[in-house]
Structures are given as C-alpha cells and as structure tokens.
Amino acid sequence: MLFSSIEFFLFLSVFVIAIFFLKNNQRNIIIIFSLFFYSYWNYFFFPLIIFFCLATYFLIKKNLRLIISIPLILLPLIYFKYSLFLVNLLNLDLLREFSYKGELPLAISFVTFTIIAVLVDRKNQENDQYNLKNLSEYILYFPQLIAGPILRLKQLFPQLNNKISFIKENIKIGIILFCIGYIKKVFFADNIALLIDPYFEDPQIASRQDLIQAFLLFPVQIYFDFSGYVDMALGVSKIFGINLPQNFNMPYHATSITDFWRRWHITLSNWFKDYLYIPLGGSKNGKLKNYLNLIVTMTIAGIWHGASLNFILWGFLNGIILCFEKLFNLVSLKYNFIKNIFACFIIFNLWIFFRISDFPSIIVFFDNLYLADESLLVLENFLTLFFVIIIVFLQKFENHNFLFFLSKKLNFSFIISFFLIILLLGFSISLGQSEKFIYFQF
C-alpha cells in the first residue's frame, strides 16, 4: 500500500475515524491497522512480522546478552535476503535448494535494524517499561514501518504513550509535508524512472546522450523517491501529533562524501555510527584502525542495501573515499562551491554502482559515458544539467523550520484546497497508483 495510492487514503481515513471515536483503544488500533498495512503487500509474510514482535519481547524479558539476541534477530534477514547470494558466491550447491529464492519480505532490513536498536538501547535503560503490546506498537507503527526513518526508543516510545490529538497547526504542517513528498514521488521520481530505467537495464543499446541523462537524473530520481516517502511519512505522523526525525538535509549541497553521509538517510548513517562504527572502535586506536573501521562500516552499509556484489562495491568505494578525505583532511579546505561540485560528481558516479547490479553493464555504462565519440556539447545535455542544478538549488527551501513557519502563515482552507488539487493532478497522472518506492526492497 503506497502512500501515494488511493488505497492508502481510504486506509488513513478509516484509521483517523477509528482513533477519533475509539480513543481508549488507541494502542490496539495502531497495532491492528499497522498489521493490515504491512500484510496488504503480501499476507504470506504476516507470520514474519508477528515473529519479530514476539521475539523482541521474549529477548528483552529474558534479558539475553546482545551477542545472542542480535544474531537471533538477524537470522530471518540472513535467510530471506542473503542465503541465495551466499550459496551462489561460495558455490554451495548442496545448500541451494534450502536457500530462499522468492520475493523479499517488505522492508525486512529496516525492521531488523529497528529491533536491534531496541535491544541495544534497552540494555542502557534501567526501567523495565516494556510489554508485548507497547513493543509491538513501536515496531509496527505504520508511517515509518516500511522505509524508515529508523527510529530509536527515545524518539518514538514516549510519544506513542500519549493520546493522539488532532491539532490544527499539526495538521497544517503535516499536510504541507505530505504534499511535498507526494509531488516528489508522483510528479518527478516516477516520471524520471520511466525515462531513464531502460538505459540502466541495457546500457549497450543506449547512446551517450541517453547515458548522460541517466547519469544526471538518477540521483534526482532516488532523492525524490526516498525523501518523498519520508516527507509523506513525517507528514502523516505529524497530523497525529507524533514527530519523526528528519532523514534528509539538503544532501546534494554536501561539500564532501563525509558531509553527504551526514545529510543523506541521516537515521541510517547514525545507526551505523552508533551500533557498528563506534563499537568497532571508531576513531580511537590510531589512524589505520580508524580507516579500517570506516571501510568495514561502509561495506556493511552497502551489503545492507542488497545481496549483490555491486552494493558491496558501492559501500566499499564510499569507505575508501571517506578514508581519503580523512587522510588529506579535505573537509577543512575552503572554496565550498567547488567542493560541492566535486562532491556531487563523485556521488553521481557512485550511484551508478548502486543502480546497476552486474559488473559488465557497469563497465559498458562508464565506457559509453566517458569514452564514446559523441559530443557532450549538445542542447539536450545542457537542459538536463540545468534541471538538475535547479533541483539541487531548491533543496535549500526544504528546511523544516521554514516549512513550519510557512504553515502558520497560510490559511487552513488554502492548504486543504492545495492538497486536493495536488491529489487530483497526481491521480490523473498516475491513475491512482504509483511505482514502488526504491527503498522498499531494503
């Protein structure tokens, strides 16, 4: 059930009515609706999400050591997402029939990381305030269930203990955030995908001009797609009076790869920093150990994105560049405008490794992109580049403080009218449906 679909608006309307008239059963309503929201995609995985809730409660109640509880929570992820990849990589033909070959459970990586955060954070708290119902509510909370942001206990748990209240100011900023996300997804990300997806599927048959378009537009597509989902999630949650953390902060304004990972998918970057990089030793124990920790962390971040060698390479290259920036202290250099252009160029190239799964196609893509005889100096390329520059510039207006200030200045009836117009235009473009969000596969 996509946030941009008619089904979701029907689902959300029933949820709001249920919360409004059955306030004393709020926790049960959130759990039931969230279970329906998750299983709507594929009811076959309904037992899996139930397992996650029961296992989390059991592991906390038994107070098992993290060295035992974390591997237990990781087992479903390893089986569903990585078993076939490992069998093929290691040529374990005898185990091939036992590996999983079907469709991935929706957002299994997000759910797993959320639970690991629960287990780790729970160890650092003295008060035992967790029962099966409130843990399930925290894990299942539908606005962030499928693709984040990845939450910590202290960010969401206390808010879910409060009654949902529909306050006018929250509704206004929530609708504005949702509209921004909806426009990003339906008006931009989906239409860009229709244009460039064929070029990535078979770079061999694409011209140099096609590949330049793909090179320039995929970073825009994945940003609009993922940040669009998060904006809609934050908007829906804000309508309920629940604040989710910001997950993007003008990522293509970054002046280095280090800076980029502080701005892109912020909650995932913080998760890897707090639960992997720092436990490995972080920047302690000398420079060489620090570089190794960076490479290991980013490589595992690549593996988290997908069971494929291209994701491993993508993460590894990010780690190498982070080490390079630390080694030469590039972050401290001046001329931020030049650094921003250079950082975007590197980021855009790295996205190719993220987008294309097989190495021969990656080689063909780069070969045709940089070594082909066709001229770069054509009007189509300049128009595409100009579009990308405008999009990057407009990120500065996505500041949530600015949007909150704007929502106070706008009339409620104007916001509702704008919302309805955007929905009608979007439904006319997408026929009430939309492409699946890229990060749903993770």
Instruction: Please say whether the beta carbons of 427 and 379 come within 8 A.
Output: no
Confidence band of 125 (pLDDT split at 50, 70, 90): low
Q: Which of 253, 265, 305, 400 is catalytic?
A: 305
* In the chain, % of residues over pLDDT 90: 57
Quick one: pLDDT band at residue 434, thresholds 50, 70, 90?
low
Q: What is the mean pLDDT of the chain?
A: 89
At residue 389, does pLDDT exceed 60?
Answer: yes
Residues 163-169 have a mean pLDDT of 89
CA dist 253 and 249 (Å) reads 9
Query: Peptide bond preceding 149: is omega within 30 degrees of 0, i.e. cis?
Result: yes
Amino acid found at 196: I
Provide the pLDDT for residue 386: 94
What pLDDT is stored for residue 4 in this prediction? Answer: 81
Question: Does the structure show a pLDDT above 80 at 438?
Answer: no
pLDDT tens per residue, range 65-79? 889 999 999 999 999
301 has pLDDT over 90: yes
DSSP readout, 67-101?
A: HHHHHHHHHHHIIIIIHHHHHHHHT-GGGGGGS--
* pLDDT value of residue 211: 93
Task: Give the per-residue pLDDT at 439.
Answer: 67
pLDDT tens readout for residues 81-116: 999 898 988 888 888 888 888 888 888 898 999 999
**Contact 137/160 with Cβ under 8 angstroms?**
yes
| For residue 373, pLDDT beyond 80 | no
Q: Is the pLDDT of residue 50 over 90?
A: yes
pLDDT score of 12: 93
DSSP class per residue in 309-334: HHHHHHHHHHHHHHHHHHHTTGGG-S
Q: Are 259 and 210 in contact (CB under 8 A)?
A: no
Decide which of 24 and 323 is more confident.
323
What is the pLDDT, as a whole number, of residue 145?
84
- Mean pLDDT is highest, among 244-248, 259-263, 307-311, for 259-263
What's the mean pLDDT in 182-186? 92
pLDDT score recorded for residue 431: 66
Confidence of residue 329 (pLDDT cuts 50, 70, 90): confident
DSSP string for residues in 345-364: HHHHHHHHHHH--SHHHHHH
Contact 353, 316 (CB under 8 A): no
Tell me: pLDDT of 322 over 90: yes
Domain limits, the chain: 6-164, 169-441
**pLDDT given for residue 440 in this prediction:** 66
Please give the Cα distance from 33 to 31 (Å, whole number): 6
pTM: 0.92
Structure tokens at 420: 């309805």
- HSE at residue 180, side-chain half, CA atoms within 13 A, is 24
User: Is residue 400 annotated as part of the catalytic site, yes or no?
Assistant: no
At 42, the amino acid letter reads N
End-to-end CA distance of the chain: 16
pLDDT given at position 172: 94
CA 255 remoteness from chain centre:
21
